[in-house]
Amino acid sequence: MNPFKKLPLFLFLGLLVVSFQVTAESAEIATPPAPTIDATAYILQDFHTGRVLAENNADAKLAPASLTKIMTVYVVFRELGNGHLHLEDTASISEKAWKTPGSRMFVELGNQVKVEDLLRGVIIQSGNDASVALAEHVAGNEDTFADMMNQHAARLGMTNSHFKNSDGLPMDDHYTSARDLAILTAALIKEFPDYYRWFSEKEFTFNKITQHNRNQLLSRDESVDGVKTGFTDDAGYCLVASAIREDMRLISVVLGAKSPNARANENQSLLNYGFRFFESHRLYEGKKPLNEARIWKGDSKTIPLGLAEDLYATIPRRQYADLKAVINVDKKIIAPVKEGAKLGSVKVSLKDQQIADKDLIALKSVEEGNIFHRLTDSVLMMMEKSEDGK
């Protein structure tokens, strides 16, 4: 039974602090260090919480090779999401796209190709030609598209990234980091779960040519459902992988491995380590009432409080019994209050170390009450203040 689902409702007249702790016996098992990874940089991160479980050189600015295409498809997904683009739209294949060297989807000069096909050509076949075609279709030219990539990178907090093209072919001042790629991948999965399914496809046929996804983990590990490989002489062999087991999703990034097998093996080692020694729990469901607080001078006497989104905790295995939650609610809540207003906090700790701190928000708006309600509550508040002062 999950004790975090048994939190009772309270009627608040002031500051509430609720704390509870599971007291079941649990064996203390030390979490071993992460495995040694033979790569230039790497990171292992929990998808839901962002907690980093292993890392080395994760902020180094490195050539991303075709991992660039994760940002390319993210930008296109954003355009699809805001209605500026549609999957059935067709893009004209320019000479620049057609001539782009490296891995290819084999689009033909002057042809009209559906956006959906181009996306699958980028994701599954790692087509440089498809990447350029999409960039030109979305932004008019690749330079403008790169500006869009950098704007999204800044918005997401990718502080060690700068993009100059859509395909990842080597260029000066074109770089990213393992941590930034984990941030980007988490955003892509969270924002576009319907499109993300393409990253698990093992092959794609276009123009009567079938090509296989280079992500070897898709065939090795059924829990892996993405994400993208990359290689250039500068970047080495790279892979961003993601897997989900028992509702826990991990993202691993390995940059600068020595071979295709090595990048798969090193990612597999990271994922196995994370799933073996850590666990992720949803403690509270977003948009669901956790408490009901007293609100003064409103058209309602109470206001439901909760979280904007689900609250997860990533912890070492067998330490769930040591989790502790504290809820703080503002002492005086006075109408009007708009839905989403911050009215307190939820803090979760593990053995006195805080691991989560989320805003407690109003789940609905409460308007100002009529004059009778306002006057009555004013008197009650004065009486309460007077009692507190005695």
Strands 291-294 and 11-12: parallel
* 69 annotated active-site: yes
* 280 annotated active-site: no
Name the token pair of 174. Answer: 């074109």
Is residue 315 classed as helix, strand or coil in its secondary structure? strand
**Rounded to an integer, what distance in angstroms lies between the CA atom of residue 359 and that of residue 363?**
12
* 347 annotated active-site: no
Of residues 294, 245, 290, 254, the one with CA closest to residue 272: 245
Let me know: does 38 contact 270? Beta carbons within 8 Å: no
Contacts of residue 251, Cβ cutoff 8 Å, sequence gap at least 6? 44, 45, 46, 47, 182, 185, 186, 189, 227, 240, 241, 242
**Rounded to an integer, what distance in angstroms lies between the CA atom of residue 198 and that of residue 123?**
7
Which residue type is seen at 305?
L
Indicate which residue of 94, 103, 126, 161 is catalytic. Answer: 126
Cα 332 to Cα 13, 14, 96, 272, distances in angstroms: 8, 6, 63, 48
The residues annotated with a catalytic role in the active site are 66, 69, 126
